């Protein structure tokens, strides 16, 4: 923020969505699920996509194990821990719904888009998606 905005620089961003049991796709606001993170959710998601928790000097034993399975950080797919994060958010969302509600989620996903910059248009070029069945 200190450097200000740069119109020429492209930027990626994410939208959290849920697929309900009734077949609807709805936007989900993470702040309503984990309000403690307040204003830090978007950087947590970016860091998770970038696998930053695997790049620490001392990494969590479960992450060490995952690295061993993949044969190193270079083989790790982007967002290796995103399914865990999506699972946690999906379960929190469903806990807020009555058991018979048609708004309960059967899956939750994170859609990534990119604004290439250079002008004030074309904000939503789709890049990729991470999906987790609940």
Partner 1 sequence: MAQEFVNRVVPSSAFALGVVRSIVHGTFLISVLLTSFSALGTLPVTVLRPTGAMKLLPWSFYDQLQTPSGMVILKTAMVVSLLLSTAGVFTVISTKTSLLLVLFYQGLLRSFGHFNHDEMLAVYYLAVLAFTPCGDAFSLDSLRGKTRTERPLFAYAYPILLMQLLMAWTYFSSALIKLRVAGWKYLSPDNLPALAIFHSLDNLHDTHFRLAFWLPQVRPYLPFAVGLVLVWELLFPLAIFFRRARWWILGMGVVFHISTLFLMNIFFPHQLAMYLIFVNWDWRRRTGCVSCPS
Residues found near partner 1 in the complex (CB under 8 A): 1-7, 9, 11, 13-16, 27-31, 33-45, 47-48, 52-53, 56-58, 60-63, 81, 84-85, 88, 91-92, 113, 115, 117, 120, 123-124
Q: How far is the CB of 108 from partner 1 (least distance, A)?
A: 13
Tracing tokens 């994410």 back to the chain, one arrives at 14
Considering beta carbons, is residue 75 or 123 the nearer one to partner 1?
123
Residue among 14, 6, 30 at smallest CA distance from 96? 30
Residue 102 CB, nearest approach to partner 1 (Å) = 21
CA angle 33, 34, 39 (to 5 degrees): 115
CB of 78 to partner 1, least distance (A): 14
| Comparison of 106 and 114: residue with beta carbon closer to partner 1 | 114
> Smaller CB distance to partner 1: residue 94 or 104?
94
Smallest separation, CB 41 to partner 1 (Å): 5
CB atoms within 10 A of CB 28: 19
Cβ distance to partner 1 smaller for residue 43 or 133: 43
In this structure, the number of other CB atoms found within 10 A of the CB of residue 41 comes to 19
Cα end-to-end span (Å), the chain? 37
State how far the alpha carbon of 24 is from the alpha carbons of 44, 45, 102, 105, in Å: 27, 24, 9, 9
């Amino acid at each position: 923020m200190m450097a200000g905005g740069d119109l020429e620089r492209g930027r990626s961003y994410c939208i959290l969505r849920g697929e309900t049991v009734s077949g609807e796709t709805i936007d989900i606001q993470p702040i309503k699920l984990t309000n403690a993170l307040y204003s830090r959710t978007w950087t947590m998601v970016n860091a998770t996509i970038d696998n930053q928790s695997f790049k620490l000097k001392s990494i969590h034993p479960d992450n060490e194990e995952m690295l061993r399975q993949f044969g190193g950080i270079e083989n790790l797919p982007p967002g290796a821990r995103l399914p865990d994060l999506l699972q946690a958010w999906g379960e929190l969302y469903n806990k807020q719904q009555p058991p018979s509600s048609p708004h309960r989620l059967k899956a939750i996903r994170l859609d990534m888009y990119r604004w290439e910059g250079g002008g004030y248009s074309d904000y939503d070029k789709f890049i990729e998606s991470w999906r987790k069945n609940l």
